[in-house]
Amino acid sequence: MVEIPNSAIDRIIRKSGATRVSTSAIQVLRKELEDYGQKLAALSIEIASHAGKKTVEGEDISLAIQKVKFLL
């Protein structure tokens, strides 16, 4: 399921310095970003739940990012 539009991915790549971007580059980056985002969201839900919260907040996302970075 595509959640991030091609135009947003294209902008990210161009802001990084590319002058031309292929469709395959957009597809590959979109898949990776969506997969990473889903993993972070799932971990954030676990963190919020562990804290007894039903609402995922920014601090939960930040903690999930820190945890993932630590594991790398």
Question: What is the CATH classification number for the domain harbouring 31?
Answer: 1.10.20.10
Query: At a CB cut-off of 8 Å and minimum separation 6, what does 2 contact?
Result: 30, 34
**pLDDT tens-digit profile of 16-32?**
999 999 999 999 999 99
Task: Please give the pLDDT value at position 71.
Answer: 82
Helix (H) or strand (E) holding 49: helix 23-50
Query: Has residue 40 been placed in a domain?
Result: yes
Please say whether the beta carbons of 29 and 49 come within 8 A.
no
Domain count, the chain: 1
Query: Has residue 34 been placed in a domain?
Result: yes
Query: Has residue 36 been placed in a domain?
Result: yes
Task: Please give the pLDDT value at position 72.
Answer: 73
Global confidence as pTM: 0.86
Query: Has residue 57 been placed in a domain?
Result: yes
Query: Has residue 1 been placed in a domain?
Result: no
Please say whether the beta carbons of 14 and 21 come within 8 A.
yes
Query: Has residue 47 been placed in a domain?
Result: yes
Range of the domain at 17: 6-71
Residue ranges in the chain modelled with pLDDT below 70: 1
